[in-house]
Structure 1
Amino acid sequence: MSEFEALCANDGDLAELRASVRRFITSDRAAHGWEPQIDSWLTSWDAGFSERLADAGYVGLTIPSEYGGHGQGFLHRYVVTEELLGQGAPVAAHWFADRQVAPSLLSYGSEEQRRRLLPQIAAGRLYSAIGMSEHGAGSDLAATATRATRTDGGWVLNGTKVWTSGGHRAHVAIVLARTSPLDPEHRHAGFSQFIVALDSPGVTISPIVTLDGHHHFNEVTFAEVRVGDGDVLGQVGDGWHQVTAELGFERSGPERILSTAILIFGVIRALGPDVDDRTATAVGDLLGRAMSLRQLSVAVARDLAAGRDAATRAALVKDLGTRFEQESVELCADLLESVDDPGGLRAVLDTARLHSPMFTLRGGTNEVLRGVIARGLGVR
């Protein structure tokens, strides 16, 4: 396989998978009438769609069949994700469970945890939140103050997480907490992860409403929340290593490039083939940047699929991709001035502008990620 063919991600059975997902999306939208959304992986929650998608075999692709999944590779999930996001499909309900929780369970979870949770994820019926960020520990997760204290038969959790996407609807949250005292010389040591049921006594979920009036973020407070030993994810004290691996999946996926895809594609379709040289150049530059970033993202996906360390390049995808997403909004706004009848694209543009400031914050601010990239390249 040539390098170009590898970047196309259409080798083997991937091309047929891509075509089948497109057919499903077209059919499902016609039958159920959902509308494509900007940032659909974060804001567009449709439990029915997630279940239909799972019934069609497009959720839990990387989960082994013994746990209810399909036993396919990470690239299969990449192709499905790319097609869903490219059409703004409402995938938020199952998103975090499928993207992050399933790989973590397969890498670090106990057999009991896998059999309890993975079949529900593959069925699109388990909703999960990620409890990482805090008020004083966003991109600098080593400053996490949430604590888990040993008790008979388990742990007691105290602390607050913020920007918890979908927490008000999620069944569980994967919570990063400190389980041993802070060592200033080793700030990344002493963390563990816990699977916390969000209907547990002591859990309080408070909404964070965005500028457009939508509620998908939350502040989640844990006050003397009891967590059993069976809900420790991985090994006590290995939380930092586990979170770092998990962030590779979060930072490198096509969602770091395609959050504004429906706006970009809609504007280009509205422009049509008869454009002047200046407009053609602007469109070419926009798509050229998108294609280059996609190639980098696919290359990272192949590394992850092969079990290779891709933390540095994943951070690079997130930095470059989310900056492109932000810049694409105003580039599309300029191009839209040449469209005689923009139709609903004005509303899509307005939504994209409201969401744009978030692109470079979530998953680690770009400024901090540049430090990760520099260290990965050996720069001090």
Structure 2
Amino acid sequence: MIDTLELTPIPPAYDAFRAEVRAFLNDALQDMPPERRARSWMGFDPDFSRKLAQRGWLGLTLPKEYGGAGKGAYARFVLSEELLAAGAPVSAHWIADRQSGPLILKYGTDAQKSFYLPRISQAEAFFCIGMSEPNSGSDLASIRTRAVRTEKGWTLNGSKIWTTNAQHSHYMIALMRTSGEPADRYKGLSQLIVDLSLPGVTVRPINDMAGDAHFSEVFFENVACPADALIGTEGDGWAQVNAELAFERSGPERLYSSMVLLETWLKYCRRHRLGGAHTTAALGKMVSWLAVLRLMSISLAGKLDRGESPAIEATIVKDIGTEIEQAIPRLIGDVLGAEPAAPTDIALMRALSYLEQLAPSFSLRGGTREILRGIIARGLGLR
């Protein structure tokens, strides 16, 4: 069942940190045009990730003994919010920092923690997520990719799809079937850390309408993994995945994918003194929606800061957040279309064009809307 989501503000102690991050980003991104910043957390730039690592801003929530900063979820929320609002190119380290590191910290062996967590904190190890599979739709429990135990470790065969940044990543945390059959559903599933440089691993990027290749197919053909590739307990993969998804769905990136476009449009409106009825109505709708969702997202950070796992609550915020993320390009496009005599801004139109093409994927990543609403219904006891 869903617990009460207590609305809590970010403690004032983090104001100085926010100001520090904002000053850094103003300097680092000053020459980056809006159409590039509009890629938000999908922008890939390992050098930028290393600059954050040099400032101690990766692995904020990881313990200091593993190379992290030993800070809480509020610190990471503030950093994430500023990075996303500015459109910083953070996707190189994003998955590792957001969920792979915390997952390894929670379920990994001491050897896994000592090896992977310092590398994540230094932007030396980039991770992708191996969950979805071809021909399974959004039915994650029906996966067929199999890991068979051998004398030396594991042999992997199968494939994954919709794998963000697999072509750039060093490792994948993959959900595999280690026993039973697909009909067994949640039983017999385990997670393994797969080195993507191993023989037998093939990565094929998928080009989207915007000309980018964020997603990939990944194929495993008799891939030999060592015994210590298993993370957590064999057969507990389903519970571990759900804990991991709470990290994925709880962050502000589920609200802010269109924020650079919104900022660019507001600057355009101020510059040309545009504030008619269409503009006011669209802005009011976006701001009111974002304000509520931001408060809910901060409350999720509060739960994580207290060591809780708000899986269902995060699913609700992700589902509703996807709606506003997809609505922002549409609303701004409608306003611009209703004012054909207004001056043209090339940078704004490029950012809008990019987001209009990318926005359909917002309701795919992190779980489709239909699957999320099924999870919410179960959390409410409705099914």
Q: TM-score, normalized by length of structure 1?
A: 0.94
Q: 2:197 aligns with which of 199, 204, 210?
A: 199
Task: Tell me how far apart the structure 2 counterparts of residues 116 and 209 of structure 1 sit (CA, whole Å).
Answer: 33
Q: Is contact 1:139-1:363 (8 Å) kept?
A: no
* TM-superposition CA deviations, 1:347-375 (whole Å, max 9, x none): 00000011011011111110111010011
Q: Is the counterpart of residue 363 in structure 1 residue 378 in structure 2? A: no
What residue identity is the alignment partner of 1:200? L
Task: Tell me how far apart the structure 1 counterparts of residues 72 and 116 of structure 2 sit (CA, whole Å).
Answer: 20
Q: Is contact 2:170-2:197 (8 Å) kept?
A: yes
What residue identity is the alignment partner of 1:365? T
Aligned to 1:108: 107
Task: Tell me how far apart the structure 1 counterparts of residues 27 and 39 of structure 2 sit (CA, whole Å).
Answer: 21
Deviation of the 1:17 alpha carbon: 1.1
Q: Give ranges in structure 2 of 5+ residues lacking alignment.
A: 1-5
Q: 1:1-380 alignment to 2 at 5 Å?
A: 7-9=8-10, 11-30=11-30, 33=32, 36-42=36-42, 44-182=43-181, 184=183, 187-272=185-270, 275-337=275-337, 338=339, 339-380=342-383
Task: Tell me how far apart the structure 2 counterparts of residues 12 and 124 of structure 1 sit (CA, whole Å).
Answer: 29
Deviates more, 1:159-168 or 1:276-285: 276-285
Q: TM-score, normalized by length of structure 2?
A: 0.93
Q: Give ranges in structure 1 of 5+ residues lacking alignment.
A: none
Task: Tell me how far apart the structure 2 counterparts of residues 79 and 14 of structure 1 sit (CA, whole Å).
Answer: 8
Deviation of the 1:223 alpha carbon: 0.7
Task: Tell me how far apart the structure 1 counterparts of residues 236 and 259 of structure 2 sit (CA, whole Å).
Answer: 37
Deviation of the 1:34 alpha carbon: 7.1
Aligned CA distance change for structure 1 residues 344 and 183 (closer, same or farther; 3 Å): closer
Q: Is contact 2:142-2:182 (8 Å) kept?
A: no
Aligned CA distance change for structure 1 residues 27 and 108 (closer, same or farther; 3 Å): same
Deviates more, 1:154-163 or 1:301-310: 301-310
Task: Tell me how far apart the structure 1 counterparts of residues 83 and 310 of structure 2 sit (CA, whole Å).
Answer: 24
Task: Tell me how far apart the structure 1 counterparts of residues 8 and 274 of structure 2 sit (CA, whole Å).
Answer: 30
- Give 3-state SS (helix, strand or coil) of 2:167's partner: coil
What residue identity is the alignment partner of 2:321? G
What's the RMSD between the two structures over aligned residues? 1.9
* TM-superposition CA deviations, 1:215-269 (whole Å, max 9, x none): 2221110011111111111111111110000001111211111000001111122
- Give 3-state SS (helix, strand or coil) of 1:215's partner: coil
Q: Is contact 2:9-2:299 (8 Å) kept?
A: no
Task: Tell me how far apart the structure 2 counterparts of residues 235 and 303 of structure 1 sit (CA, whole Å).
Answer: 25
Task: Tell me how far apart the structure 1 counterparts of residues 120 and 111 of structure 2 sit (CA, whole Å).
Answer: 15
What residue identity is the alignment partner of 2:267? R
- Give 3-state SS (helix, strand or coil) of 1:181's partner: coil
Q: Is contact 1:267-1:335 (8 Å) kept?
A: no
Task: Tell me how far apart the structure 1 counterparts of residues 182 and 217 of structure 2 sit (CA, whole Å).
Answer: 27
Task: Tell me how far apart the structure 1 counterparts of residues 347 and 145 of structure 2 sit (CA, whole Å).
Answer: 44
Deviation of the 1:139 alpha carbon: 2.5
Deviation of the 1:278 alpha carbon: 4.4
Q: Is contact 1:50-1:125 (8 Å) kept?
A: no
Q: Is contact 1:336-1:342 (8 Å) kept?
A: no
* TM-superposition CA deviations, 1:260-281 (whole Å, max 9, x none): 0001111122112662344223
Task: Tell me how far apart the structure 2 counterparts of residues 196 and 183 of structure 1 sit (CA, whole Å).
Answer: 21
Aligned CA distance change for structure 1 residues 288 and 376 (closer, same or farther; 3 Å): same
Deviation of the 1:62 alpha carbon: 0.6
Q: Is contact 1:166-1:218 (8 Å) kept?
A: yes
- Give 3-state SS (helix, strand or coil) of 2:29's partner: helix
Task: Tell me how far apart the structure 1 counterparts of residues 160 and 189 of structure 2 sit (CA, whole Å).
Answer: 15
Task: Tell me how far apart the structure 1 counterparts of residues 182 and 45 of structure 2 sit (CA, whole Å).
Answer: 44
- Give 3-state SS (helix, strand or coil) of 2:166's partner: coil
Task: Tell me how far apart the structure 2 counterparts of residues 84 and 228 of structure 1 sit (CA, whole Å).
Answer: 36
Deviation of the 1:213 alpha carbon: 1.9
Task: Tell me how far apart the structure 2 counterparts of residues 34 and 229 of structure 1 sit (CA, whole Å).
Answer: 47
Task: Tell me how far apart the structure 1 counterparts of residues 182 and 343 of structure 2 sit (CA, whole Å).
Answer: 62
Aligned to 2:3: none
Q: Is contact 2:180-2:187 (8 Å) kept?
A: no
Structure with higher RCO (Cα < 8 A, 6+ apart): 2
